[in-house]
A = this chain, B = another copy of it.
Amino acid sequence: MTATDPHALESALRAAFPALSLAGPSDLSGRAPGEHPANLAAGVMAMPASAPEAAALVAFTRAHRIPVVSQGGRTGLAGGGISRPGELILSSARLNAIEAIHADEMTVTVGAGVTLEALQNRLRPLGLTPRIDLAARGTATIGGMVSTNAGGILAFRNGVMRHQVLGLEAVLPDGSVFSDLTRVIKVSAGPDLKHLLIGGEGAFGFVTRAVLKLEPFRTERASALIGLPSAAHALRLAGALQAETGIELEGAELMWRHFFDDSARNHGFDAGWLPAGTACVLLVEVSGETADAARERLETVLAQHWEGAGITSGLVAQSLRQARSFWQLREEADFIYREHPDAPSFDISVPPGSLDRYVADFRARLFQVDPLHGAYVYGHMADGNLHISITHAGAVGPDRQRAIEAAVYEGVRELGGSFSAEHGIGLEKRHAYLTYSDPVKRVMADSIKQALDPDLLFNPGKVPFTALPAGG
C-alpha cells in the first residue's frame, strides 16, 4: 500500500470504504484536469460526503502514509492542486450542500464543494450575496477559496475571503475534525486557528464546511469603461465614485493599454474610441436604486469629474449586454495563454498609491532583462492587486524565468506589498516564497507544519516547508 500504483490504492479504498464515492484511473482519464494538466495525475479521487467520512479517510491514509491533496474546483493558478501517483486526491465535490441560510443575520453555512456561482444564484432571490466575487465564480468552490484566501473584485470594500469566514470545519492531518462553526463576528476565545486553515493551501487541513458573511445584493447596476492617463487618476476617480451618495461602487478594475488592446481585439471589441495618451482603461460598476438611476448618476459623476480626473474618453454601458461585454474584456483573459502558452504570470499587490511607480519601475527592470519582452498588466486597482503576464519570443529557460521574477518582485516588499496577492504559493511560487518572504515567518510556518503534520502527508511539497526533511 505504499506503492504508487493508483489501481492498488483504488482497490484498497473500495474494500475499506464500500460506501465512499470514489473515482479511479479509468474514471479520471477522461476528466478535465482544470487549470493545471497534472491536477489529476494521482489517478485516484475520493469524494467524501461529510466531515466524519473525510476524517475516516484521513485516518486510513495516515495509517498507510499516503499523501493527500485537497481539491475543489481545480481553478487554482499556482499549482496548489497538482497531484502525483501515490497520492490520494480529496475532493470536496460531494460536500455540496448549501446547508442553512440565516437571512436575518446575513450568514450562510455552506459545504466546501459549493461553487461561488451556485451560492450566488441560490442567494440572489433572497436579495443576498456573498461579500466576495471573482472571475472563476463558475468553478471555484468555497473550500478552495478558503484554502487560498481568495480575493477578487470586492476586496477593496469587503476585504478578502479571510474576512468573510465566521466559522469553519475541517479535517486535520491527524484525522480529527476541527469544528468551529460560530456565526458571530466577535470571537476572542483562544487562538483563532481557523485562520491557519484559511490561506493554508491544504497544508493544515481539508476544509469541509464554512460559515460566511453575506450582504444585500444590489441588482440595479451600471458599468463604464473610462480611459485615463495613469493609475493615480483612476484611483482618484474611483475614490470620487465611492464618496458619492446614491450609488455604491461595486468594482474598479484597471487594464493597462497593452492588455486592453489585445483583449479588445480578441473579443472583437472596438477600441477606436480611445485616444492617444490613454495609458489605462478603468472598468467601473456601480449600483443604485434602479439601473437607470445608477447609469444616470454614473454619467453625471463622470461628467463632473471629466477634466479634473483627466478622463481621455469614456463609454457608459447602455444595456446589460454591453455591460457584459465590458466585463468580458477584463475577466476572459484566456487569450494571453492561447497566444503565449508559457507566459510567466504573476499576481502581486502594492499599496494602491504606489501602482504607477511600481509599474514604471517594473517595466524598466523588465526592459533590462530583455527589451523584447512585453507585459500584460491588469487587475483589481482599488486594492492594488496586479496580474502580470510576460510575453516573449521563444522559450523561457530557468535563468530567464528567475530574471523575470526578479523584475516583477523586486521592491514589492519594500513598497509594503506582497509577492502573492490572491493566488497562493502552490508549487509554482515556491521559489518566490523562499526568496521574497520573511525568513522568520518561514521558520515559524515550518515549525507549525511539523507540529500538525509531522509526516508531511497533507499537500506535500506545496508552499513549501523547507526546514523539514521531505518538504522541498
Residues of A that sit less than 8 Å from B by CB? 102, 104-105, 107, 148-151, 155-156, 159-160, 162-163, 167, 172, 176-193, 195-196, 198-201, 203-204, 211, 245-246, 349-353, 380, 383-385, 413, 416-425, 433, 437-438, 440-445, 447-448, 450-452, 463
Contact = CB atoms under 8 A, between A and B. Distances in A.
B438 A188 contact: no
A182 B416 contact: yes
A162 B192 contact: yes
Given A187-B421, A190-B433, A438 B178 contact: yes
A189 B419 contact: yes
B182 A418 contact: yes
A443 B173 CA distance: 12
A187 B102 contact: no
Contacts of A417: 182-184
Given A184-B351, A191-B199, A349-B186, A172 B444 contact: yes
Residue of A105, A419, A443 contacting most chain B CB atoms (<10 Å): A105
A162 B166 CA distance: 12
Overall SS of chain A's interface? loop
A188 B383 contact: no
A238 to B, nearest CB: 12
B149 A422 contact: no
17 contacts: A102-B351, A105-B353, A107-B351, A159-B163, A181-B416, A184-B385, A184-B417, A186-B349, A186-B418, A187-B418, A188-B421, A188-B425, A190-B442, A192-B199, A193-B196, A196-B448, A450-B451
Contacts of A352: 105
B104 A187 contact: no
A448 B291 CA distance: 51
Contacts of A151: 185-186, 188
Residue of A177, A178, A246, A418 contacting most chain B CB atoms (<10 Å): A418
A184 B419 contact: no
Nearest to A151: B186
Contact of A190 (B177, B349, B445): B445
Given A182-B418, A184-B418, 13 more contacts: A156-B185, A159-B163, A159-B185, A177-B440, A182-B413, A184-B383, A184-B416, A188-B418, A188-B425, A189-B418, A191-B199, A245-B245, A448-B452
Contacts of A201: 190
A466 to B, nearest CB: 11
A148 B186 CA distance: 11
B349 A167 contact: no
A413 B423 CA distance: 33
A337 to B, nearest CB: 21
Residue of A196, A211, A245 contacting most chain B CB atoms (<10 Å): A196
Given A188-B149, A384-B184, A416 B349 contact: no
A193 B443 CA distance: 11
B163 A163 contact: yes
A72 to B, nearest CB: 15
A438 B160 CA distance: 26
A179 B176 CA distance: 32
A176 to B, nearest CB: 5
Contacts of A177: 440
Contacts of A445: 190-191, 193
